Chains A and B, each alone.
Chain A
Amino acid sequence: MSPAARLMTVLGVLAAILVLAGAAALFVGSAAISPRAVVSAVTGRAAPESVESVVTLSIRLPRILVAMLAGGALAVAGVAFQGLTRNPLAEPSVLGISGGAAFGVVIGQSVGFGPGVLEAAGLTVFAFAGALLAAGAVYLIAAAGRGFQIQTLLLAGVIVGIFFASAITVVISLLDFNRLGGVIHWLLGNLAPIPRGSLALFAGLAALGFWLVLTRARELNLLALGEESAQQLGVNAERLKLAIFIGAALLTASVVAFAGPIGFVGLIVPHALRMVLGPDNRLLVPASLVGGGAFLLLADTLARNIVAPAELSVGVITSFCGAPFFVYLLRTRYRASL
């Protein structure tokens, strides 16, 4: 089968899973609404102010869209960071980039940015700046050693992540100690419904990041041979790295600004897909977008229902899946390179 045909097949299967997961998420929840009522709300036959319409269209549906977007964005960011650093275990949260973005968001909130669309754009700018700051710190720490060894980069990411987590609690404690609980909830990743305008902005930013990575997927493959070899094959390595980095940072920052720093999606989804598709980024990048959306949607549906009527942060589910998965990868596949 040609790569294009393989991509179409995989995208078809993943899209089917995504649609099924979306339907499931629409029908289940802590508010007891019958499937028939959900259908009548979606088809517009229920009154706009009825409980089923409000719950289905204003709570569940936006949340489903946020989950799909955030999951897809994080998975693509994972593929991008893995290709960029030539490190199969790299990922926005492991590299500390999410932590930096979260710090940016907290700083943004502390100077008074609220929930409006313009203010959401402002928060994203802060998140992006935080992501750049964290990436710069990780780079400087990791580059101090000889080359970019897998473990050096991971250690640098973990250190930077811990630093920013502490910095966030300091900022919050200084401002308003009572909000600390809410912030911790957000720091674990929280897919609360966001206003329509913000959702559109989120989608636009994520699309830009996705486009930056997708259009360079072939060059990203060549980068796996090393920067010098990529250059000798005709790739402008400096420009490539910059574009991939900006794309991945943008994807990460927008997710953190709109949904919080959800961990491990960028590790789990690309690796699962790599087992099926192989390492070709031209297949992995689009498949991760759809697969990541489906994965986070399923995780969020679980988070909403597992302890109903209370709910967990979706980040708890992804971390509970991701941490053992990370250990598994470390102990099996990448043992030799550590």
Chain B
Amino acid sequence: MGAPLLELNGVGFAYPASPGHRERPFRLHDLSFAIAPGEIVGVIGPNSAGKTTLIRLLTRVLAPTAGEIVLEGRPLARWSQAELARRIAVVPQGVLPRFPFTVGELVLMGRYPHAPDRYFENPADLAAAREAMAATGVLELAALPLDSLSGGERQRAVVARALAQEPRLLILDEPTAHLDLRYQAESAALLRRLNRERGVTVLLVSHDLNLAGEICDRLLLMADGRLVAAGAPEAVLEESLLGAVFACEVTVEKSATTRRPVVQLTWRVDSPNAGAAASPTANQRR
């Protein structure tokens, strides 16, 4: 493994305490890990583990209160916001813009960091946007408004917008959270193909343990603002570890087709204390 693309050294973060908001302000503690170019890394963990905060730190929406984040050997704090956007692109959770932009207009927004002072995009920008739309299969949807698309198409349009940034690192925040099963499989295949064909490094932040286990080379398991475990999916998706972190009972088997670990929740619908703690679907943002 050569020089890491991204490196976190003892990164900590604390939200300022706001009266009446939470009893204890959320903190991230001593986060250290590295991502090599070309990897697909998954970040998993229960609600309020710090996954969204991690994305905000990596894209400098927030600044760490301790430690350092280093991108391509240079501290993140020393990158300009536009430079950073040419290296790291984020596919956020599905929020639609309030104005009816078309797919083409959305994807072209990804070209902004390449020339922030340009009023209209130039032919090179248009070519890059077309290429990104072709890569995710939304080229023929370019003229349609986003709100007329299905969930899966919209997701691919947003990924195309991120690809138009020509990033080295693609961060996806719960990419399958609002998608039907069929589109979930489709986006998993898309991510793997983008990684293989374009060499894009992928950081996948997800509640979906099986999606992460299926496509990631390595998993980072977070809980309560700490990194609890890191390693190959087989090592991290382990019954007793997951049981402790998610506070519920799970079984892990090997998929017959892909030999990857498959996590199953042990349902206890009849037990009196089955409830919120065992529900991994509720999604809370910070």
A residues in contact (CB < 8 Å) with B: 2-4, 86-88, 150, 217-219, 221-222, 224-226, 228-229, 231-236, 274, 278-280, 282, 337
Question: Is the beta-carbon distance between B81 and A88 smaller than 8 angstroms?
Answer: no
- Kindly state the separation between the CA atoms of A218 and B105 in the bound complex, as whole angstroms: 11
4 more A-B residue pairs beyond the given contacts A218-B118, A222-B112, A279-B105, with a C-beta to C-beta distance below 8 A: A3-B120, A224-B97, A234-B116, A279-B100
Question: Is the beta-carbon distance between B92 and A226 smaller than 8 angstroms?
Answer: yes
Question: Is the beta-carbon distance between A233 and B165 smaller than 8 angstroms?
Answer: yes
- Kindly state the separation between the CA atoms of A280 and B95 in the bound complex, as whole angstroms: 18
A224-B98 contact, Cβ under 8 Å, with A218-B112, A232-B89 = yes
- Kindly state the separation between the CA atoms of A120 and B91 in the bound complex, as whole angstroms: 50
From A218, A221, A228, B56 is in contact (CB under 8 Å) with A228
From B81, B100, B102, A236 is in contact (CB under 8 Å) with B81
Closest-CB distance, B92 to chain A (whole angstroms): 6
- Kindly state the separation between the CA atoms of A234 and B116 in the bound complex, as whole angstroms: 8
Residue of A nearest to B100 (CB): A279
Residue of B nearest to A231 (CB): B61
- Kindly state the separation between the CA atoms of A337 and B100 in the bound complex, as whole angstroms: 13
A-B contact pairs, 7 of them (CB 8 A): A88-B99, A217-B119, A228-B56, A234-B80, A234-B85, A235-B81, A279-B99
Question: Is the beta-carbon distance between B119 and A86 smaller than 8 angstroms?
Answer: no
Question: Is the beta-carbon distance between A232 and B85 smaller than 8 angstroms?
Answer: yes
B84 beta carbon closer than 8 Å to chain A: yes
- Kindly state the separation between the CA atoms of A218 and B99 in the bound complex, as whole angstroms: 14
Question: Is the beta-carbon distance between A222 and B109 smaller than 8 angstroms?
Answer: yes
Bits for B147-186, please: 1 = Cβ < 8 Å to A, else 0.
0000000000000000001000000000000000000000
B residues in contact (CB < 8 Å) with A: 56, 59-61, 80-86, 88-90, 92, 95, 97-102, 105, 109-110, 112-113, 116, 118-120, 165
The 6 A-B pairs at the shortest CB distance, nearest first, are namely A279-B99, A234-B85, A234-B82, A234-B113, A224-B97, A232-B59
Question: Is the beta-carbon distance between B90 and A232 smaller than 8 angstroms?
Answer: yes
Residue of B nearest to A336 (CB): B147
Residues of A within 8 A of B102 (CB): 278
Question: Is the beta-carbon distance between B99 and A224 smaller than 8 angstroms?
Answer: yes
Residues of B within 8 A of A219 (CB): 112, 116
From B90, B100, B120, A229 is in contact (CB under 8 Å) with B90
Question: Is the beta-carbon distance between B109 and A225 smaller than 8 angstroms?
Answer: yes
Residue of A nearest to B85 (CB): A234
From A231, A234, A337, B98 is in contact (CB under 8 Å) with A337
Question: Is the beta-carbon distance between A282 and B119 smaller than 8 angstroms?
Answer: yes
Question: Is the beta-carbon distance between A232 and B120 smaller than 8 angstroms?
Answer: no
Residues of A within 8 A of B82 (CB): 234
Residues of B within 8 A of A231 (CB): 59-61, 81
Question: Is the beta-carbon distance between A234 and B81 smaller than 8 angstroms?
Answer: yes
Residue among B60, B80, B109 with the highest chain A CB neighbour number at 10 A: B109
Residues of B within 8 A of A3 (CB): 120
Residue of A nearest to B116 (CB): A234
- Kindly state the separation between the CA atoms of A217 and B98 in the bound complex, as whole angstroms: 16
Residues of B within 8 A of A228 (CB): 56, 61, 92
